[in-house]
Amino acid sequence: MTLPELAPEEGDDAAPPPAAPVMPRVAVAPADRAAIGRSARARAPRSAHAGWAAAPGRRDPVAVLEDECRTRVPELVPIRYGRMLASPFAFYRGAAAVMAADLSGQAVSGLTVQACGDAHIANFGAFAAPDRALVLDVNDFDETLPGPWEWDVLRLAASIEILGRARTDRGRDRRALTAAAVRSYRDAMRAFAGMGNLELWYRRLDETALAREFLPALRRPDVAMRRAAAGARARDSVRAVVKLTERVRGQVRVVHRPPLIVPVAELLPADDARDVELEMQSLLAGYRRSLPDDRRHLLDGYRVVDLARKVVGVGSVGTRCWVLLLHGRDAGDPLVLQAKEAEESVLAPYAGRSRHANQGRRVVEGQRLMQAASDILLGWDRLRGLDGRRRDFYVRQLWDGKLSPDLESMPAERLDAYVRACAWTLARAHARSGDRIAIAAYLGGKPVFDAAVVEFARDYANQNERDHAALAEAVRTGRVEAQTGV
């Protein structure tokens, strides 16, 4: 497969009038920005974040999920339901749209950031930065959009409570863990408020910072850090090729592991498979244009040798996702790219539409703004499928030193350090994109906000269990079909 040059299609990225909140960029004196934050307490007292009760007429959570699935690959939708059915924590991971609707009725300060939109604790992880240092950061941006910073914090806090229940931790331990995370967010934001813009921009949680700021309490922090770093660095393109490919008649090809990984040649009739390959070439050509010149030069040194559909995640199951195997110098120089469909953010109905017409670009630009160091091959494009519909995609390396820990089996002392580190990275992402001084002033130096969010997390975890039970009932009655164990 070659990468043809295609002229950009008119209107592909013509931005509609922005409806989402615009993050303030005007230089205002720090004292005035702090006053804005303190005055926001009148609009939304910090204690107003406490507790959760379903609003009258709250929409059926299964109906919300069904609406999401209408645009997805039909034969993959039962896998999504099956994965969400596994536990309340698994359900929560796939129910970002359900929570977005719920959060839209919560009090907010009016201070806007580039929100992750799905900042649950399993959407953080370690990966290799372009300079190959191991860093910890947010690692899922499918739902990113400008919005209230509180929504991310509340989703993170509830996920920690729900995770604690999955681990069968005691209630007081769950509350302490959630409070520690929220306090870490608040303390970090207050620290960032005192930094200069460039100082903040360069901050990241690499191996040195992790060991210094979050691991001293561990009995052997050096061992924990070395193991994490080694595990992350092993998950590069070479490792991806080992797991995802096999030799067929002397040629390296993507493995056939249905329904999770299916090469295009085995997924579709020959004519349709060729059409998909041509469309994917078009996608890559357009994606190439979204890269800086030096990255285009790097990409031009590779050629595509195989293509397959891959099932990923929990909430993402059913969206179109392709893995592309490329060779550089030779078969010993592999690159595995993932082209993943990007739909409108779950926050859009409540925070406003993205200013980017291409949803793939929305994801990429949001990731670049929030992450301290992003994949050097991150880009986007749009293509027309076999059904004639045009869909947006973002493209990245499938693995680039990524590591997601097993949270349910992690020792308690390491989990405490981990959730605090994740909250720090979320605060840093928000501080980069929003008014860190105003947010810090709103939060203040006392744990008023922390206590309110801990109460919210407990009550929302109860709601999440009821929603999980509603999905189980929908499966039992045949309303939806679930395929478990996949």
Domain boundary at 397, 431, 448, which? 397
> Does 196 share its domain with 340?
no
Rounded CA gap, 475 and 87, in Å? 14
> Does 420 share its domain with 308?
no
Tell me, yes or no, whether 265 lies in a domain. Answer: yes
Tell me, yes or no, whether 351 lies in a domain. Answer: yes
Q: Contact 35/433 with Cβ under 8 angstroms?
A: no
What is the extent of the structural domain holding 448? 30-233+407-476
Tell me, yes or no, whether 21 lies in a domain. Answer: no
> Distances in Å between the alpha carbon of 181 and those of 25, 91, 117, 419?
28, 22, 18, 6
Extended strands (E) in 232-359: 245-248, 251-254, 261-263, 303-310, 321-327, 334-341
Rounded CA gap, 223 and 424, in Å? 22
Tell me, yes or no, whether 1 lies in a domain. Answer: no
Return per-residue pLDDT of the chain as tens, 486 residues: 433 333 333 344 444 444 555 555 556 899 999 999 999 999 999 999 999 999 999 999 999 999 999 999 999 999 999 999 999 999 999 999 999 999 999 999 999 999 999 999 999 998 888 887 888 999 999 999 999 999 999 999 999 999 999 999 999 999 999 999 999 999 999 999 999 999 999 999 988 888 777 875 555 555 555 565 555 555 555 666 778 888 888 788 899 999 999 999 889 899 888 888 888 888 899 999 999 999 999 999 999 999 999 999 999 999 999 999 999 999 888 899 999 999 999 999 999 999 999 999 999 999 999 999 899 999 999 988 878 899 999 999 987 546 678 999 999 999 999 999 999 999 999 999 999 999 999 999 999 999 999 999 999 999 999 999 999 999 999 999 999 999
> Does 355 share its domain with 376?
yes
Tell me, yes or no, whether 402 lies in a domain. Answer: no
> Does 385 share its domain with 247?
yes
What is the b/e burial string over 372-396, where b = at least 16 CB atoms within 10 angstroms of the residue's CB? bbbbbbbbbbbbeeeeeeebbbbbb
Domain boundary at 397, 420, 436, which? 397
> Does 35 share its domain with 94?
yes
The total number of structural domains in the chain stands at 2
> Does 81 share its domain with 122?
yes
Rounded CA gap, 276 and 283, in Å? 10
Tell me, yes or no, whether 466 lies in a domain. Answer: yes
> Does 196 share its domain with 59?
yes
> Does 431 share its domain with 460?
yes
> Does 321 share its domain with 422?
no
Tell me, yes or no, whether 12 lies in a domain. Answer: no
> Does 52 share its domain with 131?
yes
Domain boundary at 345, 369, 397, which? 397
End-to-end CA distance of the chain: 31
> Does 133 share its domain with 243?
no
